[in-house]
Homo-oligomer: A and B are copies of this chain.
Amino acid sequence: MVPMQIHIVYAHPHAASLNAALRDEAVRTLEALGHTATVSDLYAMGWKAVADYDDFGPTENAAFMPAAGEAWERGTIAPDITAEQAKLLAADLVILQFPLWWYTVPAILKGWIDRVFTNGFGYGTSRDWPRFGDGVLAGKRAMVVVTTGAAESHLSDRGVNGDIDSLLFPLQHGVLFYTGMQVLPPVVVTGAHPGFGESDYADAVKELRSRLETVAESAPIAYRKQAEDYDADRRLKPGLEPEGATGFALHVA
């Protein structure tokens, strides 16, 4: 096995939570496998969640996105941001771990995305910016580990919450795959509320371990690549859609 550098971006406010236990289990498992694991514990770091002009240093650009781009060019982006970018660039696998709050990431993790994937690093304003399968993090892998109070049926294909693959699409496809990473299927721990018992926890650990043991070779979600599978208007080319697919499912081979 080739040792991997794995970076976990972790967002939960409670130091003794289910999420914290699963994070520690992940680090132990990865290290036992011979990998190296680092963690950005966003709450513990007091991560600044709100993207604003304080991130850029002195700028004459009034508009926000150009000001971000100028700061990137000048190298005046806030050091907490560049430190996170360096961790991503050093990693072979990036894990985002969080509780599902209002069907997406907690604000502190959204703020990590907004600030770290700044103009010039995570995205650009040119029409030929490499994205959706290419990008600054191409060649790396990514995986989401998410807990949710909902029961599995609530997140199933016909579940009232919406199916979990679609709920995670904006994050997995729109952030992780956008920046070039190959996205492994998520580890989803359902029923994470006060009724979550010891056997539920044992099941979750078993699943997490099993997934971590195979991160190097397991098949990523087969998202279509922008550079190959979309026309000049960025629409999926005719005939590439899976039979009967609509919505987000169109974009998976």
Q: List chain A positions with a Cβ less than 8 A from chain B.
A: 12-14, 16-17, 43, 47, 49-53, 62-66, 101-108, 110-111, 113-114, 117, 125, 132, 149, 151, 153-154, 156-163, 166-167, 169-171, 173-175, 193-194, 224, 226, 230, 233-236, 241, 244-251
Contacts and interface: CB of A to CB of B under 8 A. Distances in A.
Contact of A170 (B14, B106, B167): B167
Contact of A151 (B16, B64, B193, B234): B234
Contacts of A230: 160
Nearest to A166: B247
B161 A174 contact: yes
A102 B226 contact: no
Given A103-B170, A104-B170, A247-B249, A235 B153 contact: yes
Contacts of A156: 235
A13 B52 contact: yes
Given A64-B14, A111-B49, A156-B235, A247 B174 contact: no
Nearest to A163: B247
B125 A62 contact: no
A120 to B, nearest CB: 15
A47 B111 CA distance: 13
B64 A17 contact: yes
A117 B113 CA distance: 22
Contact of A125 (B52, B149, B166, B167): B149
Contact of A244 (B158, B193, B246, B250): B246
A245 B248 contact: no
A162 B235 CA distance: 10
Contacts of A50: 43, 47, 49, 106-108, 111
A7 B194 CA distance: 35
Contacts of A160: 132, 224, 226, 230, 234-236, 251
A98 to B, nearest CB: 12
Contacts of A51: 13, 101, 106-107
A131 to B, nearest CB: 8
Nearest to A242: B246
Given A13-B51, A166-B248, 4 more contacts: A125-B149, A156-B235, A163-B248, A247-B247
